[in-house]
Chain A
Amino acid sequence: MLLEPIMMKIEEVIQESPLARSFMFRKGLEYQPGQFVMLWIPGLDEKPFSISYHGKDFFGITVALKGKFTHRLHEMKAGEWVGIRGPFGSAFNLVVSEANLLDVGRACVVGGGVGMASLATLIERLGDLVVVQGARTASDLLYRNRFKVAGPLPTKDMLLCTEDGSAGTKGVPTDLLEDLYRHYRFDVLYTCGPEAMMVKVLDFAMQYNIYMQASLERYIKCAVGLCGQCSCNGLRLCIEGPVLDCEKLRTLEDFGRYARLRNGRRVSIEEYLGGNRRPNKHPSA
């Protein structure tokens, strides 16, 4: 784990969608799917990003355009330098067997928006799975030609949904869960995306008694478990999270409801995200 930011050269920039770019680094990192790094732009700020590409001597992150920091990052080109600290946080629970396949049984991976970034290396490691990706519109879909999805689907590809129907099924990924479960009887659900979607995945997992894990987002500062900024009830999202399992999520009052602004004030998720998302129901409500 890198405690100080290490300056690394951006090796390559990949345009994944109109709003998302990946930044590749030639450096090996000890890492498990679900973990994140802190990326430092000297003189500006340092922010968390999931590792979305990983190999023996390289890794990459995928960054969606949001505000000041991500705009500045998107302007950066191959050959420029940034600082990397990490990886930090918990990982998706995997039991890797000798063949590097997994003992988790059959998995269903549900990704929404740039949440796909934290699921991407998980998808590459799983041996038997179904993947559903949701986005607003066709051009926002990520990694379309990237995976050979091992599992029951003959296409060996992701299932896609868009809110406007411009690609795949019209709707959101959680609309497909019932049907998929009836056909493929998966044993575990992994999800990352808008919190409202993850709340629905948890509801589904509880209803059918399926083990489930989700990767959450909260404002991160120190990333080493000291400052308390990322507190989600009694949990630190930077240490015990970002990946939490259904047992924890069920009892987490903040899940789907509250998040902390940079000054520590606990507000509704909608206010935290800038009030542009629909409110949603909590599983235990």
Chain B
Amino acid sequence: MAEVDLSTELCGIRLQNPTVLASGILGTSKGLLKRVAQAGAGAVTIKSLSLEPLPGHNNPIVIGFEAGMLNAVGYANPGIKEGAKEFSNLKEVGVPVIASVIGRGVGDFMKVMEELWGLDFAAVEVSLSCPHTPGYGMLAGQNTPEATKEIVSVVRKCTELPLLVKLSPNVLEIGNVAMAAEEAGADGITAVNTLGPGMVINIEARQPILDFKVGGVSGPALRPIALRCVYDIYKAVKIPILGVGGISTGRHAIEMLMAGASAVGIGTAVYSRGVEVFGLVCSEIKEWMEANGCASTKELIGAAHVS
């Protein structure tokens, strides 16, 4: 049988394979992005950058539980000016690099977008969906269709790069939010950010473990929800989807493609399978495709939508 074709396309960006590093995992430095690229990722996303530096929440910021992780990093980042220094000469990374940006409102987003000018990002992801940072994302009401439309229309005017909008799973009608993003000019949807927030209490200490008390749920517990979200979004919009949430194996990735994603984001699985997870997932996808007579990932995208 001929070699199977793992490549895919996301908003006009060609990816060697469908695995993408999700934002906020390892994306703090160019050195780590390079490593993830060498480990086999088709593309990588940087840790979200805001206008001003943010120190993030106190530790503990991440806590594991039996079905995944809770995190309340609180968008710690050095701010867009420092970020622009860190992420210069991105060609060195070797795969497309997606910028992730956050803001308290349209004013922030406009200024942040200005600083991205001239850098080698392949696309911009606007994250409107973090559940644990006051002033940003969900905690600023950015996950409604109205707010999404307002912010995306403004960001759209600031860039010619492909524009992805990252959504929260914490809405019943996620298709409506995706439609709002599409109408405002988004080129793609990233779905989803973490769920919740949730909480874990240490019963001996008699208090929540995360210093911020609550955090977003990622990993295995999120996967079925992320799949349903992507499935709904695929029905609601024409623009491509980057499916994220709980993916750690080739089977999970294929499932996500079948729900309608054109590429798959991987975050928490870096914990369970190491940085090598990207290469591992790719070879598992390939094996499955070979065993099932599937020549190209294009045959898989949206395959679960039977009439």
The answer on A and B forming one complex is yes
Measured between beta carbons, the chain A residues less than 8 angstroms from B77 are 263-264
Q: Which residues of chain A are near B211, meaning CB under 8 Å?
A: 43, 45-46
Inter-chain contact A43/B78, CB cutoff 8 Å: no
CB distance from B14 to the nearest CB of A (A): 25
In the assembled complex, which residues on chain A have CB atoms less than 8 Å from the CB atom of B267? 226
> In whole Å, how far is B60's beta carbon from the nearest beta carbon of chain A?
5
| Residues A229 and B64 in contact, CB atoms below 8 Å apart | no
Residue interface bits B89-102, CB-to-A below 8 A is 1, else 0: 00000000000000
Q: In the bound complex, do residue A4 and residue B64 qualify as a contact, i.e. CB atoms below 8 Å apart?
A: yes
> Inside 8 A of A222's CB, which chain B residues have their CB?
61-62, 71
Interface residue B53 (Cβ < 8 Å from any Cβ of A): yes
Contacts A4-B63, A222-B61, A226-B268 hold; do A83 and B28 have CB atoms under 8 A apart? no
Binds B, one of A23-31, A149-157, A231-239: A231-239
User: In the complex the two chains form, is B207's CB within 8 Å of A42's CB?
Assistant: yes
Q: List 27 A-B contacts (CB under 8 A).
A: A4-B65, A38-B60, A40-B205, A46-B211, A83-B209, A221-B59, A221-B73, A225-B271, A225-B275, A226-B268, A226-B271, A227-B28, A228-B28, A228-B47, A231-B28, A231-B32, A234-B29, A234-B32, A236-B26, A236-B32, A260-B28, A262-B56, A263-B56, A264-B28, A264-B47, A264-B82, A266-B78
CB distance from A9 to the nearest CB of B (A): 10
Query: Which residues of B are found within 8 Å of A47, using beta-carbon distances?
Result: 59
Whole-angstrom CA separation of A260 from B47 in the bound complex: 15
In the complex, whether A177 has a CB less than 8 A from a CB of chain B is no
B200 touching A4, Cβ below 8 Å: yes
Assembly CA distance A197 to B62 (angstroms): 33
Q: How large is the interface on B (under 10, 10 to 19, 20 to 34, 35 or more residues)?
A: 35 or more
15 further A-B pairs in the complex, CB-CB below 8 A; given A4-B65, A266-B78: A4-B63, A4-B64, A4-B200, A40-B60, A40-B205, A44-B58, A46-B58, A224-B271, A225-B274, A225-B275, A227-B25, A227-B76, A231-B26, A260-B28, A262-B76
A102 at the interface (CB under 8 A from B): no
Cβ-Cβ contact count across A and B, 8 Å cutoff: 129
Give the residues in chain A near B24, CB-CB below 8 Å: 227
Residue B224 at the chain A interface, CB threshold 8 Å? no
Chain B residue numbers with a CB within 8 Å of A227 are 24-25, 28, 61-62, 71, 73, 76
Decide yes or no whether A77 CB sits under 8 A from chain B. no
Chain B residues, CB < 8 A from A262: 55-56, 76
The secondary-structure label for the interface of chain B is: loop
Query: How many A residues touch B, CB cutoff 8 Å?
Result: 37
Q: Does B34 contact A (CB under 8 A)?
A: yes
Residues on B with beta carbons closer than 8 Å to the beta carbon of A263? 53-56, 76-79
* Min CB gap B276→A, angstroms: 12
Q: Does B160 contact A (CB under 8 A)?
A: no
